[in-house]
Amino acid sequence: MPENAGYMIAAYIVAAVVYLIYGGSLITRGLRALRRDGEG
């Protein structure tokens, strides 16, 4: 493993988790709103 790889992995995981949690929650809320009013 290259030097300081643990720090890089930690930073990449933090960023991915934040993007996925925030993006995922927005997408879920959007899809729920779209479904609530139907496609018509």
Partner 1 sequence: MKPTISSSRGIMKWGIAITVLGLVAMAGVYLLALGYTPLEARQGAAQKIFYVHVPAAWSAMVAFTLVGLVSILYLWLRDERLDAFAASSAEVGLVFSVIMLTTGPIWGKPIWGTWWTWDARLTLTLILFLLFVGYMTLRSAVHDPAERARFAAVLGIMGMVLVPFIHLSVYLFRTLHPMPIVLKPSSPSLPPEMLRTLLLGFLATTVLYVGFVVLRYGLARYAMARLDEES
Contact residues toward partner 1 (CB under 8 A) are 2-5, 7-8, 10-12, 14-16, 18-20, 22-23, 26-27, 29-31, 33-34, 37
State in angstroms the smallest separation of the CB of 13 from partner 1.
10
State in angstroms the smallest separation of the CB of 16 from partner 1.
7
Q: What is the DSSP letter of 24?
A: H
State in angstroms the smallest separation of the CB of 24 from partner 1.
9
Burial 1-40 (b: 16+ CB within 10 A, else e): eeeeeeeeeeeeeeeeeeeeeeeeeeeeeeeeeeeeeeee
